[in-house]
Structure 1
Amino acid sequence: MHDASLLEYAWLLVAVLAAGALTGLLAGVFGVGGGAVAVPILYELFRLLEVPEAVRMPLCVGTSLAIIIPTSIRSFNAHRAKGAVDLSILRVWAVPVVVGVVMGSVIARFAPAAVFMAVFVLVAGVSGIRLLFGKDSWRLGDDIPGRPVMVGYGWLIGVLSALMGIGGGQLSSMFMTFYNRPIHQAIATSSGLGILISVPGTVGYILAGWPRMADYPEVAVLQPPLALGYVSLIGLVLFIPTSTMIAPMGARLAHSLSKRRLEAAFGIFLLLVSLRFAVSLFG
């Protein structure tokens, strides 16, 4: 029994390190923080560590947001070096996105695990269908809308990203392509959004989870110094080295792919994410 447990933990360690590398690759290629990969892997890690179901999913989301911080920074810098980032959009979104993230963190304090999974299924599914089967005529406009509409979009992206544990890449990329922006520019700009979302999101989940974790003093991995609220330092230590190292490679790969290949790859990725959480939600 003891040997079996050690083997299970060893395989999980390998899986987490590999997921960290995949998280970095996705961050660079798709302009996303990689939370769609990090959250399910962390869920299995915390299951083995016997984290109660009542707090397991928000702990995954909060930890994912913290992991996204260095990954998004490296990805953003790599895309900006290629001149593909639209900084004017990021400036308009900065405040409403942060406000949305704070509100999402407050919701996370009380929401059941099913809420997090349902948001994943809805957003990732719609985004994937749009990229795989959408046509150029599927647009909301020929250019980015005015500031009031942009503020509303920014707020919504912040709320949903905080509940999903993502850097907002698939949300903002879908929005920008609906308004006739090239997929390469959409992905590059979205990498900067990850920074605006992950930093306040991490702080929000620390604060939201702090009183909840006090209800489980018998679970050592939920207490400081191994966890701060809904942010697991174990998850950070395992994910960050490989994800940060691989992110610039992903950014270079993104700029070497054709528009259609990049859209198809992103769409397949999002549909797989949606299917993964739909199975968990309805299975």
Structure 2
Amino acid sequence: MACRAVLAGVRLNLEWQFVAELLVLGSFTGFLAGLLGIGGGMLMVPFLTLILSHRGVADGLAVKMAIATSMSTILFTSISSVRAHHKRGAVRWDLVRGMGPGIVIGGLIAGAGVFAALKGAWLALLFALFVGFSATQMLLDKKPAPSRQMPGPLGQTAVGSGIGFLSGLVGAGGGFVSVPFMTWCNVPMHNAVATSAALGFPIALANTVGYVVGGWNLPSPLPGAMGYLYLPALCVIVVASVLFAPLGAKAAHAMNVRQLKRAFACVLYLLAAYMLYKGLAG
């Protein structure tokens, strides 16, 4: 009886520790979703991979579950973040409408097909590559040509397809591509961040549907897992992130463009380094 009580206490402690880790992670990712328009996935994927690995999930599958779960949280965090940005008139809804259809197409292709076929190590390396590239673009702070503008409807659909596809492979809301692209096309930084947050919802919706379809017959590695989605982590992270996303959006409008770009780049470099390590180790 004594041994059972000790084991039950250890288990309860581990569960509370797990919930606490997810609450902290959700708070930070929600804040970054509002601050940088990246949906929080850039921070969530590396840390959720670490958390799932410590719970006994194989590294390759842990990366995939972290990516899928991270993406599904953006369904909720993007709404909270966009409301705060929209109140300030920062969202370019014309660009959301222009890139939205392509994003859905690219997300479904990635989530339902390519994601399941690729090994977790390759996904980790892909994550590191694109995040590092995005960080470099932000840190260099190259000034776009004054005459450069956003492409027309067909061009925006094509760009949206690429953003949706890449986002589905790395579990991020697309800000790592859409923010640099829009600023490159002379969209002001604050508008680019706000619009990227709005694009996060169709990206997350299309890819989450794809992950469910692609992992439908996957054996459950943990209680509460549904294919590649880990529902307990999703629920806990969403509660914290939805509360903190408006605070990040408020902070974004209080910072100047140079500070915002530097913060964006520094966060991305750190996370790219960790996922590079995971990919090479796998």
- After TM superposition, the score normalised by the length of structure 1 is 0.90
SS at match of 1:210: coil
Residue in structure 2 matching 1:245, options 239, 243, 246: 243
Is it true that 1:102 corresponds to 2:108 in the alignment? yes
SS of alignment partner, residue 98 of structure 1: helix
Encode CA deviations 1:247-282: one digit per residue, 9 max, x unaligned: 001000000001111111111111112112112222
Kindly provide the amino acid, as one letter, of the partner of residue 180 in structure 2. Answer: M
State the AA in 2 paired with 1:254: A
1:92 is aligned to 2:98: yes
Match of 2:209 among 170, 191, 203: 203
Residues 219-271 of structure 1 show CA distances to partners (whole Å, capped at 9, x for unaligned) of 452xxxx1222111111122111100000010000000011111111111111
Unaligned runs of 5+ in 2: 1-5
Contact 2:102 2:157 in 1 (8 A): yes
Map of 1:44 onto structure 2: 50
Cα distance per residue 1:98-145 (max 9 Å; x no partner):
0000111111111101221122112111111111123215x5962112
> For residue 280 of structure 2, what is the aligned residue in structure 1?
282
Q: Which residue of 2 aligns with 1:268?
A: 266
Listed as ranges, the gaps of 5+ residues in structure 1 are none
Distance 1:97 1:135 in 2: 26
CA RMSD of aligned residues (A): 2.0
Would you say 1:118 and 2:125 are equivalent positions? Answer: yes
Partners of 1:220 and 1:240 in 2: CA distance: 19
Quick one: distance in 1 between partners of 2:146 and 2:157? 16
Moved over 6 A (4+): 3-6
Amino acid at match of 1:281: G
TM-superposition CA deviations, 1:195-238 (whole Å, max 9, x none): 0111121111111111122xx5xx452xxxx1222111111122
The residue that corresponds to 1:127 in the other structure is 134
TM-score normalised by length of structure 2: 0.90
1:181 equivalent in structure 2? 187
Match of 1:146 among 145, 152, 158: 152
Identity %: 32
Conserved 8 A contact 2:125-2:280: no
What is the aligned partner in structure 2 of residue 254 from structure 1? 252
CA contact under 8 A between 2:121 and 2:278: conserved in structure 1?
Answer: no
Alpha-carbon distance, 1:159 to partner: 0.5
Q: Does 1:21 align with 2:31?
A: no
